Amino acid sequence: MEKHLINYLLVEKYLTLKSESKKMIKTHFKGYDTIVWNYVIENRAQFMIDESVKLPQNGLRGFEDCYNELLKITSSGIGWIDPKSIYYPETLRFYKPEVKMLFTRGEKHLLKETRNVAIVGSRKPTSYGRKVAYDLSKFLAKNGLCVVSGMALGVDSQAHRGALDGGGKTIAVLASGVNQPYPPSNLKLYHEIIDTGGLILSEQFIDDLALKYHFPLRNRIISAISDAVVIIEAGEKSGSLITATHA
């Protein structure tokens, strides 16, 4: 499994490969864990890789940044879920773009062993909207359901808080990496989710900051891992409605 992670980091982040080359390598070897780099080196033209592109020959020698990230992941309690993992949500296989890897902090068994309800909505809800998000999440948590949201300000934060106060579990799907809680003002909430047996989940690399285009990508994951989606006070062009369209 670690070989899958190493090759994923190399192909998707640390090697200067064209998107076509990445796809050809993955297709040829039917995944990341079976890549044979000596074969790739000897057949660069087959994968449309220029001679100037540095490829791994002796493990991660010469790729110290990749090695350091791998060490950070494996030594700091960060988990990862690839498409061959028993924890990979089957529903994600139907979503585009493909979710190639999920990084986690906390209890990834929540993806398989609980019924999950997503509660998402406005970052600037009315006081009524905040109360509905909190009360509904607390009710669901008390009745054994896991609340899923995106840890954004407003409705998302109230959803997580309600679940925690209800003594239940909650999953936060981030638009940033799992080491970069976003927004920073929710750092305390982030740690509470982990400390109470919840889950932090992201497909972004572990130290990535949240970028604008990450949010709609995040929303499809929220939808995929949830049995139902509740939208509270979402605007017509909001990310919450993107989540709903994926449901």
* Position 91 in a domain: no
Name residue, tokens 């990834």.
Answer: 108
Is 12 found in the same domain as 129? Answer: no
Is 124 found in the same domain as 55? Answer: no
DSSP calls for the chain = -HHHHHHHHIIIIIS---HHHHHHHHHHHTSSTT--HHHHHHTGGGGT--TTS---SSTTTT-HHHHHHHHHHHHTT-EEE-TTSTTS-GGGGGSSS----EEEEE-TTHHHHS-EEEEEE-SS--HHHHHHHHHHHHHHHHTTPEEEE---TTHHHHHHHHHHHTT--EEEE-SS-TTS-SSGGGHHHHHHHHHTT-EEEESS-TTPPP-TTHHHHHHHHHHHT-SEEEEES--TT-HHHHHHHH-
Strand order in the sheet with 116-121: 79-81, 102-106, 199-202, 170-173, 146-149, 116-121, 228-232
Environment class of 43 (CB within 10 Å of its CB; exposed 0-12, middle 13-18, buried 19+): exposed
Contact in structure between 35 and 25 (CB atoms under 8 Å): yes
pLDDT at position 242 is 47
pLDDT at position 238 is 53
* Segment 114-132, tens digit of pLDDT: 999 999 999 999 999 999 9
* Segment 63-100, tens digit of pLDDT: 999 999 999 999 989 999 999 999 999 999 988 889 99
* Segment 179-222, tens digit of pLDDT: 999 999 999 999 999 999 999 999 999 999 999 999 999 999 99
pLDDT at 27 over 80: yes
CB atoms within 10 A of CB 72: 13
Is 53 found in the same domain as 150? Answer: no
* Position 125 in a domain: yes
* Position 97 in a domain: no
Taking the complete model, does pTM exceed 0.85, yes or no? yes
* Position 114 in a domain: yes
User: How far is the CA of 204 from the CAs of 117, 209, 210, in angstroms?
Assistant: 23, 9, 9
* Position 92 in a domain: no
| Residue 143, φ and ψ in degrees, nearest 5 | -105, 20
* Domain, as residue range, for 197: 103-246
Q: Whole-angstrom Cα distance, residue 241 to residue 184?
A: 24
Q: Whole-angstrom Cα distance, residue 96 to residue 61?
A: 34
What is the number of domains present in the chain? 2
Is 215 found in the same domain as 121? Answer: yes
